[in-house]
Amino acid sequence: MGSNKQYLKGILITLSGVIVLSADALLIRMSGTGGAQAAFWRALFTFLSLFTVLLVTKKRTWLATLTGGGVAMLFSGLLWGISGISFSIGVHNSGAAVMLVMMGLSPFFAAAHSFIFYRTKAHPLTLLAAAGAVGGIFYMYNSQIGSIGPSDFLYTIWTPLFLGTNLSFLRQHAGLDRIAICTVGGLLGTNIAFVMAKAQIAVSLSELLPLVILGGLVIPFAQLSLSWGTKFIPAGESALISSLETIFGIFYVWVFLNEVPSSHTLIGAAIVFGCILLNTLIQAYWVKR
């Protein structure tokens, strides 16, 4: 029974992170800024927010916590930082819809990384559910996928690649401090985005406000939840739940920007939700037994 509780705990933690993270594309769109600019402010406020949390929670040991993780912490932080940059640029260049479609590939990258580096096989049901979810996502946006250019494709594919890899990596490094990892990610992302933006990071106050909310609240909570969730559930399932960002992202745009989804979108969303729910219920039953 204990294992079942741990599994369900991981599901709920990850799900809460995805619900919050789904506001990412909406807030980037609301800011109206360029990709590298949005990535810079997103990462900067993430760093400032999490560094404050680190100082408050760790007090005199904050520096030892930051440096104690060594190369492993630096690597995971780098993945967080780069995935955030590629997401911001992908939303700006290809649109939120296409970017959210590509996020559905993260379970496959997580499963591939776990198998190649750790010889951990994803459960066949998880892979089947991931395939079904991707199918539902593509059904939603099949008319827009063909509009993406080769250069933009790189930015959209990097995000699920780095996210899936990071979730797999964190699963194998449960002892790393999650707050410190995400703080490092914010710092690295800030510096990389600053270079990519060629120091042209000035934005108006109205453009900055959504990015303050995004970096100061949304990203820190979401990254910590996703990172913490990997302690309780496999990386493939964590990434699969992350696919729900597509559905919640549609809902947020519907509510805040009054963009009513089409019937295809609603059908595709139902397919994605059904696949993930079915996987979660069956996996929870097996864990209980």
pLDDT per residue as tens digits for the range 83-92: 999 988 888 8
Provide mean pLDDT across the span 149-157.
69
At residue 143, the pLDDT reads 59
Q: Is 34 helix (H, G, I), strand (E, B) or coil?
A: coil
Q: How far apart are CA 233 and CA 3, in angstroms?
A: 10
What's the pLDDT tens digit per position in 215-274?
999 999 999 999 999 999 988 888 888 888 878 888 888 888 887 777 877 788 788 888
Res. 184: pLDDT tops 70: yes
Q: Is the pTM of this model over 0.85?
A: yes
What's the pLDDT tens digit per position in 108-145?
888 889 888 988 887 788 888 888 888 887 777 675 55
Q: What is the DSSP string of 160-179?
A: HHHHHHHHHHHHH-TTS-HH
Closest CA to 269 of 283, 248, 287, 253: 248
132, HSE (Cβ side, Cα atoms, 13 Å): 19
Q: For residue 247, give every residue at least 6 positions away whose Cβ sits within 8 Å of its Cβ, in sequence order, or none.
A: 22, 269, 272, 273
Q: Is 129 helix (H, G, I), strand (E, B) or coil?
A: helix
Burial class of residue 217 (count of CB atoms within 10 Å of its CB; 0-12, 13-18, 19+): middle
At residue 109, the pLDDT reads 87
